[in-house]
Amino acid sequence: MLGRDASVEVAPAITGPRAADRNIALNTGEKDGFYRPSQHLGRIREQFEREGKNAESFVRSHVRRLEALHRAGHVERLDDDHWQVPGDIIERGQAYDRARGGDSARIKTLASRNLEQQIGSDAATWNMCPRALERAFRAHPAARAVIVVHIYGLAADMDAILEVCRKHRAAVIEDAAEALGTLYKGRHVGTFGDCGALSFNGNKIITTSGGGMLVSDDSALAVSYTHLTLPTIYSV
Ligand SMILES: Cc1ncc(COP(=O)(O)O)c(C=O)c1O
């Protein structure tokens, strides 16, 4: 259910066959009925290179589509490079999309709070604006914690934000998942607030495949993290 004043994006209904399904049909061997990602890649690579486009990710998007159709029982996977595709894959793809509501408009919630309630960002840092934070405290004086997210490798204006938070007696949690290695006035972000969070997921700056780290110079607080996920505490 959508609340009042939410920001949404309305995507038009999917009409007609998907380009990916047409490409899969075009690249499926007439005789053996196999779609082979390596062959598809071989066919398009040169042209894509000339046009500066990424052929691998293009072919991968077709494999992802096949994986979805496979889960719905429309195609078979023999191995990474052999997908058994039926001759009516385009019609099946359309039926699959329709069954998943593809013929009605899709609504994606971008924000459940209205713009007035969101804390604006600062043009200089692209991060939380300290003046907007001060206004937010006026609207929500009972707030006890602020999560500052440093995005795109850029640091939020921590001096000003900490000042506002101290004034309102709110704890500060920094999310430095996108800013590992970023310095603010010579010091790493994530080390200014009461605690800082780092992510080592596969799409992050360094990765351990999954997981992350909470950092704090308050040992009592660090110990209290243990009940959350049973992590290891490293003291430095
Ligand atoms: C700023 C920020 N915080 C948190 C996360 C979530 O991290 P994880 O992937 O470890 O759940 C992300 C992931 O994209 C992120 O960009």
In this structure, of 88-92, 126-130, 214-218, the range with the lowest mean pLDDT score is 214-218
Instruction: For 35-63, write each residue's pLDDT tens digit.
Output: 999 999 999 999 999 999 999 999 999 99
Domain boundary among 40, 73, 108: 108
Give the domain extent around 164: 119-229
Task: Reduce the secondary structure of 203-225 to three states and give it as a string.
Answer: CCCCCCCCCEEEECCCHHHHHHH
Q: 200, 201, 208: which to mutate for ligand 1, most atoms within 8 A of CB?
A: 201
Check which CATH number belongs to the domain holding 192 and give it.
3.40.640.10
Give the separation between CA 198 and CA 184, rounded to whole angstroms. Answer: 16
User: What atom of ligand 1 comes closest to residue 199's alpha carbon?
Assistant: 10
CA of 204 to the centre of ligand 1 (A): 8
Task: Name the β-bridge partners of 36.
Answer: none
170 & 217 share domain: yes
224 & 125 share domain: yes
Predicted local confidence at residue 236, as pLDDT: 58
Cβ 174 under 6 angstroms from ligand 1? no
Instruction: For 22-42, write each residue's pLDDT tens digit.
Output: 999 999 999 999 999 999 999
68 & 136 share domain: no
Q: Is the pTM of this model over 0.95?
A: no
Mean of the per-residue pLDDT values of the chain: 90
Cβ 212 under 6 angstroms from ligand 1? yes
138 & 102 share domain: no
Domain count across the chain: 2
Q: Is 80 exceeded by the pLDDT of residue 3?
A: no
CA of 164 to the centre of ligand 1 (A): 25
Q: Establish if 1 belongs to a structural domain.
A: no
63 & 87 share domain: yes
Instruction: For 70-125, write each residue's pLDDT tens digit.
Output: 999 999 999 999 999 999 999 999 999 888 877 677 788 887 777 767 788 999 99
Predicted local confidence at residue 131, as pLDDT: 95
